[in-house]
Amino acid sequence: MTGQIKHLDDVVSQSLAHQRKSGAELRDFINTMNNALSVLASPDQLEQLARDIEERFGITMGLGAMVDDESFRPWLDEAKASIHPFYWDRYKKLLHKNGLPQDVITTTDELTDRILGRLGNPGLAEKWDRRGMVVGHVQSGKTANYTGLICKAADAGYRLIVVIAGIHNNLRNQTQERIDEGFIGRDTGRLATQGKKGNRAIGVGLFDDRHVPVSLTNTLSDFRKDTASTNTSQIDSYKVPVVLVIKKNHNTLRNLLDWLRENSTRGDDQMIDQPMLLIDDEADNASINTKYSKEEITKINGQIRDFLNMFHRSCYVGYTATPFANIFVDPDQYDDALKEDLFPKHFIVGLDAPSNYFGAKKIFIDGIPDDGDPIWLRYIVDNEDILPMKHRIDQTVEELPESLREAVRAFLLARTIRNLRGQASKHCSMLVNASRFTSVQGLIRNRLHQYIEEILDSLRVNGARAAAALNDNIIADLHSTWDLEYSNAEPDWPKLLSAMLEAVAATKVVEVNSRANGLDYSENSTIGQTVIAVGGFSLSRGLTLEGLTITWFLRNTMMYDTLMQMGRWFGYRGGYEDLCRIWMPSEAIDWYAHIAEASEELHLELKKMEKAKATPSDFGLAVRSHPASLLVTARNKMGSGQKHVMIGLSNAWVETAKITARVNELEANEAAAERLLQNMAAHGHGRDAAERVVGGHLLRNVPVELIDQFLLSWRNHDQAFLTQTGPVRNYIRERQDDELKLWDVLVTDVKSEQPNFDIASWSVGPQMRRIGYADLSDHLLSMSGKRSRIASRGVERVGVDEEKAKQAEAQYLAEEKLEGTDESKRPSYPDRIYRQVRDKPLFVLHVVQVRQPEQRDIDQLRDKSILARLPLRPVIGWSISLPPSRKPNDRVEYIINTQKFREIYGSNEEDDGAYEDD
């Protein structure tokens, strides 16, 4: 978009910001503006402008959820009359200028008020200490939220504001830039190097450059005692708020603690009287006490607590998209010896993502249809001989896997299409995350640079030769990738090819790690940058890649938070979402789908507990009791030996996603299923009594004893932690006389390309399932790979009263703001909404035929001989949907062999050795 068009966008957007228009009214208004502006821009430019504005102002955002300690009385409403919103008003104007949708700005205003009202009142002289957490989504706008909170806290009277911004320099620098723009209004790096000459307003300073906060850090350097001490040293000596953006590093924290002790503490226990707000960005990373013993406090965790305890009046707010580790902090660990841990004991806020958020649910759940290929995802199957998933620090990279070359071609094509759409001034990035070793990252960078040069050479020589250009192998490859990926997005190949050289000639390949950071989006230019960023862990937390369009991702840690944080492709892709592509191994895709489900349930749990007026401790207990907690527990280093994990099964779903492949055990499980069907028939629940329903045959009011007998006979694989029948049977037995006395039973039967399977007096069509074929080496059938699903979507609706099911669906649409949308465009209803309204538990007996592997599955196997372990006949599995219990806090004990657990899931990548230590 040209500077003139950008100006028109600002004018129209500012006008709309003060009006409430939607639908046809909005389009009529934009058309009227277009007619008035037609002398200033071409019809194509104005139509693109109209589409951009219409899309932006149609975006909505919910208020999320708040779980808090009701004993605290929010103070903000009463204090508002005396607060002049100077910093917030500047920031709100900046958000409008940057094109943030009006509904999102309004919701951010309300949310930050809710959070500030639960912090301590800076006008109250008595001692207070408040601790909370804000749970967002990866790359969804958490920084914008806490910048707004900082502005409002400063307006209310907070004198010291500290932002702890991740463990790497590049993330701290990026966060400082955003605080400069949104709160300070000055470029702190330029001020540090140029003094008064560099004292030029930026961001919010362009609206009003008075009352500039004092920053004791800048975009070039972290906190330093000597630099801070050259200023007026006592916090209460400043007439404006003091702000610091520091790295989450024990040396930095030690220097800050020493400086405060030397300059600002006095009187009562050497404490500071000024109200202080601490924002802990990426709060689950390095802040949490993860040692095996309570007595061993992680150094950074202890330093943060020491810092909080230096103030009479302090607030700690942790921001994270992956709160699993924080929830596992012991909420009872509040004693003088340990100075209290960082559990968010006073409030937890769940942020809703705006409706245009391109997140895990959209990509890995809604974007993977039950039948058909993924929308945005592509499989990596060709890396092992060139760049193995697991490799040493001395790994050589002589060439690029073809899938990476294809991803590069897709990136260059997407950049060109974006330019043709009027987005030439926007940045466009590609992410390559394939190794934790900086030396290997450097080799990948070199090979990518060479390939880009080859493509540019071909475009210079043959790019203008139209059809004859296809005689050039590289341009033929580009045409093939276009035909496969983008022929619908831009059907005019000659037009695309002729524009390509100009669009991609300035492409840069940069490293982003501890030894180099080639990312710099600050260059003043009318042309957006085109960047391929190669990195590892530095690209895995908080760092934003502007205009990220293509990703090639060869990582496979199984830890919830690490994997989700590596998803830098989450965020907002206005005007080019259809061009985004993500290459990764099928196993990683399965993991993301599995974790996306758990994350969605976490946010849903927050909303449920807000309605129930629960406290943060109640929420922590509920999440720690969730079956998904087994994997999270490993994040907190389980130690060795046996781990006793307490799990709640109220309102839970349990399924045999992992089944033994040993022949004798398969036969035993089939015999158990046959006895179940025979015993049900003997109790009047035979084949002739069943109702035909979607997915199979339903039998109602089956006695609990028959379910218990089947579970007693079940042969479980030792890696199937959640289907240990002992804990499940214990939970059922505690409720067998009332809540779980009678069951619905579904016997699966689907239309299948396979012949029917005969068992007892039943003949059923088997469900077809792919597995994680590499797991056959452990005699394991991993149903749906790491997605860990044997059941089909919608199965938990079976047996639910129709009126209750429709009410649950309507409530879901209301919560997700999907009422009135075209049914064909709605995502499928999540099964959990039906579980909450069940009257009776549901037992599903699955008859499953394992699919033969596709070529991509075979290509990824080191040992092809294990395929001989694939069962030729259908296998038996089961799943259970348990309704909410009247005793929801009762939990059962699972026993986990922690060594076996680590062999399966690995350890956290952060602990795999020094690879990017800055």
Please name the residue ranges forming H helices in 432-531.
438-462, 473-485, 493-504
At residue 903, the pLDDT reads: 56
**773 vs 619: which has the higher pLDDT:** 773
Is residue 748 a contact partner of residue 695, using CB atoms and an 8 Å limit?
yes
**8 vs 567: which has the higher pLDDT:** 567
Residue type, 431: L
Tens of pLDDT along 804-819? 999 999 988 887 777 7
Tens of pLDDT along 438-477? 999 999 999 999 999 999 999 999 988 877 788 999 999 9
**DSSP structure class, residue 292:** S
**167 vs 458: which has the higher pLDDT:** 458
Is residue 192 a contact partner of residue 176, using CB atoms and an 8 Å limit?
no
Is residue 776 a contact partner of residue 870, using CB atoms and an 8 Å limit?
yes
Q: How far is CA 567 from CA 556, 560, 596, in A?
A: 12, 11, 11
Once rounded to an integer, what is the mean pLDDT over residues 263-282? 76
Tens of pLDDT along 666-677? 999 999 999 999
Give the closest residue to 772 by CA, choosing from 786, 758, 789, 757.
786
Distance CA 170, CA 473 (A): 39
Is pLDDT at 31 greater than 80 in this prediction?
no
**852 vs 611: which has the higher pLDDT:** 852
Indicate the SS3 state at residue 457.
helix
At residue 735, the pLDDT reads: 95
Is pLDDT at 523 greater than 50 in this prediction?
yes
With the C-alpha atoms ordered 185, 186, 187, 188, is the resulting torsion angle positive or negative? negative
Give the closest residue to 72 by CA, choosing from 125, 130, 126.
130
Distance CA 174, CA 541 (A): 12
| Residue bearing tokens 């009003």 | 208
Band of pLDDT at residue 748, cut at 50, 70 and 90: very high
**362 vs 629: which has the higher pLDDT:** 362
Once rounded to an integer, what is the mean pLDDT over residues 83-100? 93
At residue 902, the pLDDT reads: 57
Give the pairing type, strands 313-320 and 128-135: parallel
Q: For residue 100, what are its two tokens?
A: 């943030």
Once rounded to an integer, what is the mean pLDDT over residues 49-75? 74
Is pLDDT at 846 greater than 60 in this prediction?
yes
Q: 345-375: buried (b, 16+ CB within 10 Å) or exposed (e) per residue?
A: bbbbbbbbbbbbbbbbbbbbbebbeeeeebe
- The contacts of residue 116 (CB under 8 Å, 6+ apart) are 76, 149, 152, 153, 156
**DSSP structure class, residue 352:** P
At residue 634, the pLDDT reads: 45
Tens of pLDDT along 204-239? 999 999 999 999 999 888 888 777 666 554 566 678
Give the closest residue to 149 by CA, choosing from 188, 182, 104.
182
Of the candidate ranges 120-134, 150-164, 213-227, 832-846, the one whose mean pLDDT is the lowest: 213-227
Is pLDDT at 416 greater than 70 in this prediction?
yes
**259 vs 706: which has the higher pLDDT:** 706
| Residue bearing tokens 């035979």 | 686
Of the candidate ranges 53-57, 506-510, 641-645, the one whose mean pLDDT is the lowest: 53-57
Q: Which helix (H) or strand (E) holds 623?
A: helix 616-624
Band of pLDDT at residue 913, cut at 50, 70 and 90: very low
Tens of pLDDT along 791-800? 998 999 999 9
Chain CA centroid to CA 465, Å: 45
Once rounded to an integer, what is the mean pLDDT over residues 306-335? 74
Distance CA 478, CA 455 (A): 9
Once rounded to an integer, what is the mean pLDDT over residues 684-688? 94
Share of residues in the chain with pLDDT > 70 (%): 79
Give the closest residue to 65 by CA, choosing from 109, 111, 132.
111
Is residue 841 a contact partner of residue 883, using CB atoms and an 8 Å limit?
yes
Share of residues in the chain with pLDDT > 90 (%): 49
Band of pLDDT at residue 30, cut at 50, 70 and 90: low
Choose from 192-196, 349-353, 749-753, 868-872 the range with maximum mean pLDDT. Answer: 868-872
Distance CA 843, CA 881 (A): 7
**541 vs 790: which has the higher pLDDT:** 790
At residue 271, the pLDDT reads: 61
DSSP 381-420: -S-TTTS-SS--TT----S--HHHHHHHHHHHHHHHHHHH
- The contacts of residue 469 (CB under 8 Å, 6+ apart) are 462, 463, 475, 497
Q: For residue 563, what are its two tokens?
A: 């994997």
Once rounded to an integer, what is the mean pLDDT over residues 895-903? 63
At residue 567, the pLDDT reads: 75
**392 vs 754: which has the higher pLDDT:** 392
**469 vs 523: which has the higher pLDDT:** 469
At residue 618, the pLDDT reads: 79
Is residue 419 a contact partner of residue 499, using CB atoms and an 8 Å limit?
yes
SS3 readout for 38-89: CCCCCHHHHHHHHHHHHHHHCCCCCCCEEEECCCCCCCHHHHHHHCCCHHHH
Is pLDDT at 293 greater than 50 in this prediction?
no
Tens of pLDDT along 58-70? 677 877 889 998 7
Is pLDDT at 437 greater than 50 in this prediction?
yes
At residue 738, the pLDDT reads: 93
**544 vs 208: which has the higher pLDDT:** 208
Tens of pLDDT along 358-392? 888 888 888 887 666 889 999 998 998 899 988 89
Burial class of residue 396 in the structure, from the number of CB atoms within 10 Å of its CB (0-12 exposed, 13-18 middle, 19+ buried): exposed
Is residue 145 a contact partner of residue 108, using CB atoms and an 8 Å limit?
yes
**222 vs 759: which has the higher pLDDT:** 759
Distance CA 594, CA 615 (A): 27
At residue 909, the pLDDT reads: 44
Once rounded to an integer, what is the mean pLDDT over residues 185-200? 85
Is pLDDT at 296 greater than 50 in this prediction?
no
**51 vs 476: which has the higher pLDDT:** 476
Is pLDDT at 48 greater than 50 in this prediction?
yes
Give the pairing type, strands 767-769 and 842-850: parallel
- Average pLDDT taken over every residue of the chain: 83
Q: 43-57 vs 23-37: helix axis angle to the nearest 10?
A: 150
At residue 132, the pLDDT reads: 93
At residue 193, the pLDDT reads: 84
Distance CA 907, CA 779 (A): 22
Sheet holding 242-246, edge to edge: 65-68, 347-350, 128-135, 313-320, 276-281, 160-165, 242-246, 214-215
SS3 readout for 751-765: CCCCCCEEECCEEEC
Is pLDDT at 141 greater than 90 in this prediction?
no
Band of pLDDT at residue 638, cut at 50, 70 and 90: very low
Q: For residue 786, what are its two tokens?
A: 């790491």
Is residue 452 a contact partner of residue 497, using CB atoms and an 8 Å limit?
no
Please name the residue ranges forming H helices in 649-713.
663-682, 704-713
Distance CA 593, CA 579 (A): 21
| Residue bearing tokens 């109200």 | 275
At residue 118, the pLDDT reads: 94
At residue 337, the pLDDT reads: 36
Give the pairing type, strands 581-584 and 548-553: parallel
Of the candidate ranges 341-345, 563-567, 754-758, the one whose mean pLDDT is the lowest: 563-567
SS3 readout for 837-873: CCCCCEEEEEEEEECCCCHHHHHCCCCHHHHHHCCCC
Band of pLDDT at residue 331, cut at 50, 70 and 90: very low
At residue 328, the pLDDT reads: 53
At residue 465, the pLDDT reads: 81
Residue type, 308: L
Is pLDDT at 285 greater than 80 in this prediction?
no
Give the closest residue to 865 by CA, choosing from 803, 776, 741, 746.
776
**914 vs 563: which has the higher pLDDT:** 563
Indicate the SS3 state at residue 347.
strand
Once rounded to an integer, what is the mean pLDDT over residues 895-916? 51
Is pLDDT at 2 greater than 70 in this prediction?
no
Tens of pLDDT along 487-520? 999 999 999 999 999 999 999 999 988 777 777 7
Is pLDDT at 338 greater than 80 in this prediction?
no
The torsion angles phi and psi of 179, rounded to 5 degrees, stand at -70, -35
